[in-house]
Structure 1
């Protein structure tokens, strides 16, 4: 594996870890949300965690296609997930925490895109750009629902 591919796979691994962390957080909120917005948030969180779950496979397979081993243990993924979010009990706190999680992931995606662009890795740029667009849409929807 070239140094460029190693730099890109390390960036992809960080995106994978952050995606895993956000997946677990979102799924937990789906199970535990209560209140007048229950039905809407329960459905929205389910849509989000399903998308995040599917993204894990795409990101890990991209890492493998570049010749590296994808982080696959719970310890590896949690180490790459970033700081653990504060527990959230209210629906409003859950939406706020998920907003922060998506924002952190968009920052990580931007860094990974820059790395892949620098390395001339267009397939990775495309994958990560699609992920960035999805997270930006989720941020827009969550912020609009709190306005």
Structure 2
């Protein structure tokens, strides 16, 4: 059945494009956080292992919620690694060692990138594309990433 939620098909398609890029970013940062959890080494292993587990579990929920938002506006979510790598603003690579400090610095940069990207698209989605619901959703997602970035920033300072 056709999606009729008071937003034109053209605008919903543009919103879905933005959300697909955010979904790719979420999947990449989820994967990189799993990598940190799995490969971490150092004297702080246990506490940071748990820390990264908390983060990847939260990010897993972000991935699902972004994909579901795309479906709510009548589009299909990208769902292949190839698509994610083409759409993401992030790099899948992690330079450096397996210390918590290195992983935290890399993940902090990624959260900051996601925050900046979300902050850039919210006004367009709300004002130009007439999708207040997605703008509100993204504002909540932005706040989640700001909190994670704060936790990481406080740990590497």
Q: Same fold (TM over 0.5)?
A: yes
CA distance in 2, matches of 1:130, 1:39: 30
RMSD: 1.4
Q: Give TM-score scaled by structure 1 length.
A: 0.92
Does the Cα contact within 8 Å between 1:11 and 1:111 map onto a contact in 2? no
CA distance in 2, matches of 1:127, 1:8: 12
Does the CA contact (< 8 Å) of 2:33 and 2:56 recur in 1? yes
Local SS of the residue matching 2:21: helix
Gaps of 5+ in 1: none
Cα shift at 1:41: 1.2
Task: Identify the residue that residue 150 of structure 2 maps to in structure 1.
Answer: 140
Moved over 6 A (4+): none
Whichever structure has more helix as a proportion of its residues is: 1
Alignment match, 1:51? 58
What is the TM-score of this pair, normalised by structure 2?
A: 0.87
Q: What stretches of structure 2 of length at least 5 have no aligned partner?
A: 1-7
2:15 to 8, 29, 33: 8
Pair 1:60 & 2:67 matched: yes
Q: 2:93 aligns with which of 85, 88, 94?
A: 85
Q: Pick the structure with greater CA Rg.
A: 2
